[in-house]
C-alpha cells in the first residue's frame, strides 16, 4: 500500500508539473509607428505581439489589450458606441486595418476563425482592443517573430509639441489586459511579459511655432526602368550638415541608401540628385536632413512603383499545386511567359523573409510547368516567386502542413 501511495504521489506531482509546463505562455506587446501625416495630424500605429522567450510560445486565442493615453495629446472621442463606425469609438482612436489576426487564419497546425476586432473606450483615456476566437486551434505566437494584430488610427492634438504616449495596462491594473491561449480543448490566460510603452516624438517639421533649418521645396523619385532617379530641392538652408536618403520596400522599415553633403548655409535654391540602381517592385524613399549639431529632421516618404518588374513582360505565377502540401515531395508552378529565358530562378522564402530554396529553371515562351522539391521544407507558410534578368513574377503563398 505504501508503494501504491508513493507511486500516486509521484504521478500526481508529475502531472501537475506537466500541466504547469503546458501553461507557460508569456506575451510581449508593442506598438510600432506605421505612418504619420503631419498635415492631417493623423498617426497610424501597428499593434504587435510575440512570445517572450523560446519556452513561452503559445497559441493565441481571444485577447483584450487595454491601453491608456494622455488626454491632451490625442483628440478626445466619445465612449459611446458609434454605429456608423463599428470598428472604432468616434473618429480619433479607431481601427484602421485588420492585419494578421482576423477572419479565417491558417497556421501549421490547422485553422482558426476570429471575429473582427473592436476598439472601445472603456474609460475617458483608456481603450480596449479586443477580439474573440470563434473556433479553431489558435494562432502560433513565436518568440522570434512579431505577429501584427491590427493597425490603429489616432488623431493627434499638436499642442505644446509634446510626444504621444500610450501605455499598456498590465495584470495588476484596472482594467487589465488579458490574452488567452488555446491548450487542446481548453484555454488559459497568458502571462504578460514586456509591455513596450509607446512614445512618438512629433517630427520637427510638424511642430507648432518651430522654424525648420531647411526649407524643402521638392522631393521626388522618378522611374528610370530598373533604376530610380531621386531629386530634392531646398529654398534655404541654415546649419545643415548633410542629407540621408533612406529606402524601404514596405514603407515602414527604412535603411540608409546614400549620404549627401548639404550646402550648409544658403539663401538660394539648391538642387540635389542621386540614382538608386537596385530598385524593387515597390519602393519607398525618405529624406532625412541632419544639422551641424546632429539633430535629424524627417520628411514624408515618397512611393515609386518600378517598371523594371512590369507584369507585361511576364505574367504572374498562375498556380502552385498541390497547395497546401501534405506529404508530397514536389510542388508544381504553372506560369505563362511572353518570351524564353533559360536562366530564370525560382525562390522560396519563409515567414521571416529568409531564402530557403533557390532553383534555376529554363523558361520557355508560352505555358510552363516546373516541379520544385519541397520535401526538406519544415511545416509552415512560405512565399514562392520567380524572376529573371530584368523581370519579376509576383509571388504566391505556399503552405506545408506535413
Looking at the fold, whether 38 and 129 belong to one and the same domain comes out as: yes
pLDDT tens digits in sequence order for the chain, 402 residues long: 544 444 444 444 444 344 444 567 899 999 988 888 877 788 889 999 999 998 999 999 999 999 888 766 676 543 333 333 334 344 567 888 888 898 888 877 788 899 888 887 755 678 889 999 998 899 999 988 899 999 988 888 776 567 888 899 988 888 899 999 998 778 899 999 999 888 887 776 676 655 667 888 999 999 987 789 999 999 999 889 999 999 987 777 788 999 999 998 988 999 999 999 877 777 899 999 888 888 888 888 899 888 765 544 445 678 888 888 888 889 998 887 777 888 888 988 887 777 888 898 988 877 888 999 998 888 888 888 888 776 777 778 888 887
Domain end (from 153, 170, 204)? 204
Q: Which residues contact 283 (CB under 8 A, 6 or more apart)?
A: 221, 228, 247, 248, 249, 276, 303, 304, 305, 306
Q: Which three cell numbers stand for residue 226?
A: 530598373
In a shared domain, residues 134 and 72: yes
Q: Mark 39-58 as b/e (b = at least 16 C-beta within 10 Å).
A: eebbbbbbbbbbbbeeebbb
What's the pLDDT score for residue 87?
40
Are 33 and 181 contained in the same domain? yes
Helix (H) or strand (E) holding 387: strand 380-388
Quick check: 335 and 255 in contact, CB under 8 A? Answer: no
Confidence (pLDDT) at 15: 44
Pick from 177, 204, 231: which residue ends a domain? 204
Residue 13 lies in a domain: no
* Residue 310: predicted pLDDT: 54
Note whether 155 and 265 are same-domain residues: no
Residue 173: predicted pLDDT:
83
Residue 21, H or E segment? helix 2-22
pLDDT at 205: 64
Domain end, chosen from 204, 237, 256, is at: 204
Read off the pTM: 0.51
37 and 167 in a single domain? The answer is yes
In the chain, how many domains are there? 3
The domain in which residue 97 lies consists of: 21-204
Q: Which helix (H) or strand (E) holds 17?
A: helix 2-22
User: Could you tell me the three cell numbers for 120?
Assistant: 472601445
Estimate to the nearest angstrom the gap between the alpha carbon of 68 and the chain centroid.
Answer: 22
Amino acid at each position: 500500500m505504501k508503494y501504491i501511495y508513493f507511486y500516486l504521489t509521484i504521478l500526481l506531482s508529475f502531472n501537475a508539473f506537466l500541466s504547469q509546463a503546458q501553461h507557460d505562455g508569456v506575451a510581449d506587446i508593442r506598438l510600432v509607428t506605421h505612418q504619420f501625416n503631419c498635415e492631417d495630424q493623423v498617426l497610424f500605429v501597428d499593434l504587435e505581439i510575440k512570445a517572450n522567450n523560446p519556452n513561452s510560445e503559445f497559441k493565441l486565442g481571444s485577447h483584450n489589450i487595454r491601453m491608456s493615453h494622455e488626454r491632451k495629446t490625442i483628440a478626445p472621442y466619445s465612449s459611446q458606441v458609434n454605429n456608423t463606425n463599428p470598428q472604432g469609438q468616434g473618429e480619433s482612436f479607431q481601427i484602421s486595418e485588420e492585419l494578421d489576426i482576423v477572419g479565417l487564419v491558417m497556421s501549421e497546425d490547422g485553422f482558426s476563425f476570429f471575429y473582427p476586432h473592436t476598439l472601445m473606450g472603456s474609460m475617458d483615456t483608456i481603450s480596449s482592443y479586443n477580439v474573440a476566437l470563434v473556433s479553431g486551434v489558435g494562432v502560433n505566437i513565436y518568440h522570434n517573430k512579431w505577429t501584427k494584430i491590427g493597425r490603429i488610427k489616432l488623431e493627434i492634438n499638436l499642442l505644446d509639441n509634446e510626444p504621444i504616449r500610450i501605455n499598456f495596462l498590465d495584470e495588476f491594473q484596472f482594467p487589465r489586459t488579458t490574452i488567452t491561449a488555446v491548450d487542446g480543448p481548453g484555454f488559459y490566460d497568458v502571462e504578460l511579459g514586456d509591455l513596450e510603452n509607446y512614445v512618438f516624438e512629433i517630427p520637427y517639421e510638424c511642430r507648432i511655432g518651430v522654424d525648420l533649418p531647411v526649407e524643402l521645396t521638392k522631393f521626388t523619385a522618378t522611374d528610370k526602368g530598373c533604376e530610380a532617379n531621386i531629386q530634392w530641392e531646398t529654398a534655404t538652408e541654415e546649419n545643415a550638415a548633410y542629407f540621408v536618403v533612406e529606402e524601404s520596400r514596405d514603407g515602414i522599415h527604412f535603411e540608409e541608401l546614400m549620404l549627401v553633403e548639404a550646402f550648409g548655409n544658403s539663401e538660394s535654391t539648391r538642387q540635389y540628385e542621386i540614382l538608386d540602381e537596385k530598385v524593387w517592385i515597390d519602393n519607398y524613399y525618405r529624406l532625412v536632413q541632419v544639422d551641424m549639431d546632429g539633430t535629424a529632421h524627417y520628411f514624408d516618404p515618397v512611393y515609386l512603383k518600378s517598371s523594371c518588374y512590369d507584369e507585361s513582360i511576364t505574367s504572374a505565377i498562375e498556380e502552385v499545386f498541390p497547395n497546401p502540401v501534405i506529404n508530397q515531395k514536389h510542388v508544381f508552378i504553372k506560369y505563362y511567359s511572353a518570351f524564353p529565358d533559360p536562366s530564370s530562378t525560382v525562390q522560396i522564402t519563409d515567414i521571416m523573409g529568409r531564402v530557403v530554396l533557390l532553383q534555376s529553371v529554363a523558361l520557355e515562351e508560352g505555358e510552363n510547368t516546373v516541379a520544385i522539391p519541397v520535401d526538406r521544407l519544415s511545416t509552415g507558410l512560405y512565399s514562392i516567386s520567380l524572376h529573371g534578368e530584368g523581370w519579376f513574377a509576383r509571388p504566391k503563398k505556399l503552405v506545408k502542413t506535413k
